[in-house]
Amino acid sequence: MSKIGFIGLGIMGKPMSKNLIKAGYKLVVCDVVKAAVDELKQAGAEVAETPREVAAQSDIIITMLPNSPQVKQVVLGKNGVIEGAKAGAIVADMSSIAPLVSREVHDALAEKGVRMLDAPVSGGQPKAVDGTLSIMVGGAQTDFDELLPVFKAMGASVVLTGAIGAGNVTKLANQIIVAVNIAGISEALVMATKAGVDPELVYKAIRGGLAGSTVLDAKAPLILDRKFDPGFRINLHIKDLANVLETSHAVGVPLPVTSAVMEILQALKVDGMGESDHGAMVRFYEKLAKIEVRRPDEKSAKSGN
């Protein structure tokens, strides 16, 4: 079985790498956070000091990093993957970055005979932990087929969506839909609460109809329980929507609704909620309406008030 290098052991990368170990893969890992590296070492991974060392020891190199600049630095920079990777190796960048950067990194690796897929994920930390992520892949069919068993150790849905960069275009589309969904859920639950209707009953009533969605089922219960720890941070969704808007403007697609949601997220960041889960978008609307969405307290529920 091929040795896999894994670079980036954050909120998503750490559980993803653990699932690869559980699936029987040998891992060599690297991260700037020592505690995360130590945790993976305890789980059975080998440790390397630099991305170059990771690549030199691996047939497959997975990167799971915050954004485009970090991917370029780790893969193409000093002591980067490109300096250590063997010809014929394959890099799977599972970060969510700008599609044009995926293509730039791919082209630089190709000059060294190294293959690449862009393979961003959706599902957040819970699905990273239980290995049921949705993985959207761009690249060559033969490379996709080779890595499919590896992806299936981390995800429940793995789809090749086109050539290099297509995975990140698909992820950007995903992030539009998720952001707009959460905004709509927030508006609806705040309106129902202010009108005097139990928001939990509203959620239960609408979830089986056309308004039902995976986003609704994932976020409404957390909003009702006031659980805003990530999850998926507002700061990361801001990063993704910045890539959305950059890409959409480059290809000539105005996105007025996405732009409005971006400003809501920016307002929450200014209010100190950038590290909260994106479900905290409801707090923007709560502030405007001077009301809080939550389950009725047990005393009220029992008394019928």
Tell me how far CA of residue 26 lies from CA of 13, 32, 84, 89, 150, in angstroms: 16, 20, 18, 16, 11
Question: What is the average per-residue pLDDT within 252-267?
Answer: 98
Give CA–CA dist 29/77, Å, rounded: 18
Q: pLDDT band for position 261 (50/70/90)? A: very high
The per-residue pLDDT for 296 is 84
- What one-letter code names the amino acid at 227? K
Work out the average pLDDT over 194-199.
98
Picking from 47-61, 128-142, 226-240, 251-265, which range would have the lowest pLDDT averaged per residue? 226-240
180 — phi, psi (to 5°)? -65, -35
* Res 283 pLDDT > 90: yes
1-35 per-position pLDDT tens digit: 679 999 999 999 999 999 999 999 999 999 999 99
State the pLDDT confidence band at 177, using cuts at 50, 70 and 90. very high
pLDDT tens, residue by residue, 166-176: 999 999 999 99
Cis geometry, peptide bond prior to residue 155 (ω within 30 degrees of 0): no
Burial label for 213, CB within 10 Å (0-12, 13-18, 19+), is middle
Active site residue ranges:
171
* Structure confidence by residue, pLDDT tens digits, 111-145: 999 999 999 999 888 899 999 999 999 999 999 99
Structural domains of the chain in order of their starting residue, each with its CATH number: 3-163 (3.40.50.720), 169-303 (1.10.1040.10)
pLDDT digits (tens, 9 = 90+) for 156-168: 999 999 999 999 9
Please indicate, yes or no, whether the overall pTM of this predicted structure exceeds 0.85: yes
